[in-house]
Structure 1
Amino acid sequence: MQAFLLSTAVIFVAELGDKSQLMAMTFAARYRARDVLLGITVATALVHLASVGIGYAIGDVFAGAQPIIEILAGVAFLAFAAWTLRGDELTDAEAAKARNSTGLAIVAVGTAFFLAELGDKTMLATITLATREGWLGTWIGSTLGMVAADALAIGVGALLGRRLPERAIKIGAAVLFAVFGVVMIVSGARAL
């Protein structure tokens, strides 16, 4: 349960202000919200399943070095905080691709999200969490956290349009990442 709750919260925060949220809003302008969410969910579940597999294997190999892994995970979360402040931009080409996708909505959205998430901070955060938490809870929680954040983006975007306080969202998410990072570093250092 701890892995589920932690990964849900961390990935939700990681997704705030991410280009995936911008993609979700763009797709929602063209397709039904239900189809967009279904495509996001399938793509996220697949990417995060691979992520927890990688993280679980890394954690298993380095099981005796858990405090060091925790410190490294904390440093990674501080890097994610900086990455979040830097921000992600949806390029004109990516926005056009989202608007002009043909075929089934779920396939178009799922494929775009799958490719966009490979190597993204949410994938890396999921790998990091899976090195120290249970794989199943991390997988389900990280998938739920990302889908919830993207659903929020679709809903809020539909209501407020482009008047979202993007800078405030980025700063809040970066602060939460930094707090998670510091807590992990302190916890790992105490265990040494």
Structure 2
Amino acid sequence: MSSVVQGFTKSLAMTVLSEIGDKTFFAAAILAMRHPRRLVLSGCLAALVVMTILSAVVGWAAPNLISRKWTHHITTLLFLGFGVWSLWDGFNDGGESEEFAEVEAKLDADWKADTSKNKEDDDELKKKRRPFLSQLFSPILLKAFSITFFGEWGDKSQLATIGLAADENPFGVILGGVLGQTLCTTAAVFGGKSLASQISEKMVALSGGVLFIVFGIQSFLSTVES
């Protein structure tokens, strides 16, 4: 039980500090300004839950492919590396407004391109001719899902989740990750641009860097289970 709690708390803290002010956080906030919040929240959360589970499964399977001693050392280096990376970003970042503007510009281009198509979608005849998947799921939900899923693929938080699941109880890691993603995404969707503009990305990056280094030191000092 203690291993589940430890995995849960580590995953929750890591996820919140990794996702607050992330590109996918900004993307969720911007999408929620233009589309129904429930669809954006559902799409973003579905993508993040799937990504968290996939990452935890990969981390859980890693010790079966590589010796636990090596996965432990790799995880330690990952945490220390991400800690230094986050601290570097925190001290050298140009400001969260630049990243927000970058994400907004990309989504703005997609939104303008889809405007005429969305107007046609209001026609019932066009609705009936949609592919089955588009009838089952709203195009907005699918858009939120795809933007979030591919935005998270290979991201620091995904790699950290894999490393954490290799060293901690994967069930606890999944629970903590899902809860953390839910809190961050809900805040992004309902907080909107005002919340995003008030976030001190520098402080989040520095806090995340310290947390990763603490995890790395703890992993370095802990014994490897055979």
TM norm structure 1: 0.81
Residue ranges of structure 1 left out of the alignment (5+ in a row): none
Match among 86, 90, 94 for residue 106 of structure 2: 94
Matched, 1:21 2:21: no
Q: Deviations over 1:138-191 (max 9, x none)?
A: 2232122123222233444454452332222222222222222222222258x8
Q: Which residue of 2 aligns with 1:186?
A: 221
Distance in structure 2 (CA, Å) of the matches to 1:150 and 1:39 = 10
Instruction: Tell whether the 8 Å contact from 1:48 to 1:123 is kept in structure 2 after alignment.
Output: yes
| Aligned partner letter, 1:137 | G
Q: Which runs of 5+ in 2 are unaligned?
A: 119-137
- Taking the aligned partners of 1:59 and 1:97, their CA distance within structure 2 comes to 43
Could you report, residue by residue, the CA deviation over 1:17-59 in whole angstroms, capped at 9, with x for unpaired residues? 3211111111121123322221111111222222122111112
Counterpart of 1:59, as a letter, is P
Corresponding residue of 1:7: 11
Name the structure 1 match of 2:150.
115
Q: How many angstroms apart in 1 are the aligned matches of 2:170 and 2:46?
A: 18
Select which of 131, 136, 146 maps to 2:171: 136
Residues 73 and 128 of structure 1 are in contact (CA less than 8 Å); yes or no, is this contact kept in structure 2? yes
Matches within 5 A, 1:155-166: 155-160=190-195, 162-166=197-201
The TM-score normalised by the length of structure 2 is: 0.70
Q: 1:172 to 1:5 in 2, by over 3 A?
A: closer
1:7: how far off?
1.6
3-state DSSP of counterpart to 2:154? coil
CA deviation after TM superposition for structure 1 residue 75, in Å: 1.9
What is the Cα-based RMSD across aligned positions, in Å? Answer: 2.8
